[in-house]
Amino acid sequence: MPKKLAAGNWKMNGLREALGEVKALYAACPTPSCDVLICPPATLIRSMSKVCDGIQIDVGGQDCHENTSGAHTGDISAPMLADTGATYVIVGHSERRATYGETDAQIHAKTAAAWAANLTAIVCIGETLDEREADKTLHIVGGQLAKSVPDAATPTNLVIAYEPVWAIGTGKTPTLAEIEAVHTFIRTRLVERFGPQGHEMRILYGGSMNPKNATDIAAVPNVDGGLVGGASLKASDFITIVQALNA
């Protein structure tokens, strides 16, 4: 079984004082048995990388441009993220798919760009409520997986995050059986495409994961960790989730 990953996506939250949360996380859990990652806003990556130097907390970006440089005002490239100390980057988050109309083809290109900069890409996939109610969940998730992930995926350079859009920030989650069904489907597709290495690729669950439901979700077969939004902002909440994934 792959080593579990507790990943926090801070989204557009956090000023410099929020670095104290990372210090508190480390103080409470200095030697986690799972991998721990925080993806803060780009403005904090450099300073967080310094705080995390030599400790078991990795730092990642929340998006990258598919090009390495150029006339793209406001964007950040994968080599720039790596240059600031990031080792992971989230690509294709549903908030970016919805707000900026990011397509699977773009996410595929961003993932390849992340790999070229030696970053591990966390590729997000997930259905909307309408799609779930129309019984299209596996169709949507399968299509996004096939089209967003390039052929050169390995267990080291790729993490999949299954994030049902309707569960993000809503306090609603799928049932454990529903989570298992989608994660097992993703595992099957990964093994079909990448062979035995597909068993080693981590599949995170994301969407209203919190200190109360983390232990149950962490125990679902083929759940290899969590991508946590709101409950990653405070060390006191996130520690409980890290501990659930440590077990």
Question: 172: which strand partners?
Answer: none
Using rule CB under 6 A, residue 126 touches ligand 13P:
no
Residue indicated by tokens 């100390």: 85
Q: Which is nearer to ligand 13P, 194 or 229 (CB)?
A: 229
- Closest contact distance (angstroms) between CB of 28 and ligand 13P is 20
Q: Look up residue 211 and give its two tokens.
A: 């200190």
Which amino acid is it at 157?
N
Q: Rounded distance, CA 137 to CA 145, Å? A: 12
Q: x/- string (CB under 6 A) for ligand 13P, residues 8-37?
A: -x----------------------------
Nearer of residues 198 and 229 to ligand 13P, judged by Cβ: 229
- What tokens were used for 45? 């990556």
207: contact with ligand 13P by CB under 6 A? yes
144 makes contact with ligand 13P (CB under 6 A): no
Stretch of residues binding ligand 13P (CB under 6 A), selected from 21-29, 79-87, 113-121, 207-215: 207-215
Is 93 catalytic? The answer is: yes
- Write the CA distances from 119 to 4, 20, 212, 243, 245, integer angstroms: 18, 25, 31, 25, 23
Q: Output the smallest distance, CB 93 to ligand 13P, in A.
A: 6
85 Rama class: left (phi>0) / alpha (psi -120 to 50) / beta:
left
Q: Is 198 in the site for ligand 13P (CB under 6 A)?
A: no
Q: Assess 209 for contact with ligand 13P (CB under 6 A).
A: yes
How open is the CA angle 34-244-231, to the nearest 5 degrees?
Answer: 100
Closest approach, Cβ 146 to ligand 13P, in A, equals 21
Q: Which is nearer to ligand 13P, 13 or 197 (CB)?
A: 13
Euclidean distance between CA atoms 25 and 236, whole angstroms = 8
Catalytic pick among 65, 93, 108, 183: 93
For residues 221 and 204, give the distance between their C-alpha atoms in angstroms, rounded to a whole number. 11
Stretch that binds ligand 13P, among 77-85, 135-143, 191-199, 229-237 (CB under 6 A): 229-237
Residue 155 interacts with ligand 13P (CB under 6 A)? Answer: no
> Hey, is 76 helix, strand or coil?
coil
**Interface residues with ligand 13P (CB under 6 A)?**
9, 93, 163, 168-169, 206-209, 227-231
